[in-house]
A and B are shown apart, each in its own frame.
Chain A
Amino acid sequence: NAGVMQNPRHLVRRRGQEARLRCSPMKGHSHVYWYRQLPEEGLKFMVYLQKENIIDESGMPKERFSAEFPKEGPSILRIQQVVRGDSAAYFCASSPQGSYNEQFFGPGTRLTVL
């Protein structure tokens, strides 16, 4: 059973461009979470999704950031008009249905904004 897959592993964008980060949850997992890790910091929650639904987006910046988890295909975290402050590692985690299950993390995508 493959783990949580994230791609790309490294992404370089210039200021003003768009960044798309992809996350494929573990097989059978219907819950996806996105976290951001700034340098020298712990992970900060961004958004929690189930298939076709955003459950909790309390950690998402109000502008430029969006997330989706369609019925088919990976979850996408989209950052429009990136700025240097968006440079960070973005981690996706998934869990099976149910509130009390462990979150399994992907390897992360390191975004660098030039």
Chain B
Amino acid sequence: AQTVTQSQPEMSVQEAETVTLSCTYDTSESDYYLFWYKQPPSRQMILVIRQEAYKQQNATENRFSVNFQKAAKSFSLKISDSQLGDAAMYFCAYRSGGSGSEKLVFGKGTKLTVNP
């Protein structure tokens, strides 16, 4: 079974600075997808960024980018120019690429605090 590990229960960053959240995963599959979700205090799950395993290029969405290291099974999230609104729980998630196996496997999350 696939597992996702987030080794940083909490992180903090100064406003306008850069922070990197770590995620590692374990799988024997070659076709899969990786995601970062944000969960603010409202508890709504919001997709931040996704990465297809077959793509070598790291995904980028505005201030959010990933460092995808397939061989190391590592998928870290970098937030640049941090804003107060970035404060939230961040969850790394894995999904198999096979049809019929669409469930997301989540890590335990990293709580990000942004200091003004």
Could you tell me which A residues sit within 8 Å of B by CB distance?
Answer: 31, 33, 35, 40-45, 48, 55-56, 58-59, 89, 91, 93, 95, 99-100, 102-103, 105, 107-108, 110
Q: Which residues of B contact A95 (CB under 8 A)?
A: 102
Other A-B contacts than A43-B91, A43-B104, A56-B102, 9 sampled, CB-CB below 8 A, are: A42-B4, A42-B106, A48-B103, A55-B102, A91-B45, A99-B97, A105-B37, A108-B44, A110-B43
Residues on the B chain within 8 Å of A91, using CB: 45
Residues on A with beta carbons closer than 8 Å to the beta carbon of B91? 42-43
A105 and B102 contacting across the interface, CB-CB below 8 Å? no
* B interface SS class: loop
Question: 6 nearest interchain CB pairs?
Answer: A42-B106, A105-B45, A45-B103, A99-B99, A43-B106, A42-B108
What are the residues of chain B within 8 A of A48 when measuring CB–CB? 102-103
CB-defined contacts of B104 to chain A, threshold 8 Å = 33, 35, 43, 45, 93, 103
- Hey, which chain A residues are within 8 Å of B101, CB to CB? 56
| Chain A residues whose C-beta falls within 8 Å of the C-beta of B50 in the assembled complex | 102
| Interfacial chain B residues near A103, Cβ < 8 Å | 102, 104
- How far in angstroms is the closest Cβ of chain A from B112? 15
Q: Which of B37, B42, B103, B108 contacts A56 (CB 8 A)?
A: B103
User: Which residue in chain A gives the minimum CB-CB distance to B99?
Assistant: A99
- Measured CB to CB, the residues of B under 8 A from A are 4, 6, 33, 37, 42-47, 50, 91, 97-109
> Among the listed B4, B44, B108, which residue makes an inter-chain contact with A105, where contact means beta carbons less than 8 Å apart?
B44
Chain A facing B: main interface SS: strand
The answer to whether A44 and B106 have CB atoms under 8 Å apart is yes
Given A102-B50, A105-B45, A107-B43, decide whether A41 and B108 contact each other with a Cβ distance below 8 A: yes
Q: Which residue of B lies closest to A46 (CB)?
A: B103
CA distance A99 to B103 in the complex (A): 10
In-complex Cβ contact of A33 among B42, B103, B107 (8 A): B103
Given contacts A42-B106, A42-B108, A42-B109, contact A56 B45 (CB under 8 A): no
Give the shortest distance, in Å, between B73 (CB) and chain A (any CB): 18
State the CA gap A56–B105 with chains docked (Å). Answer: 14
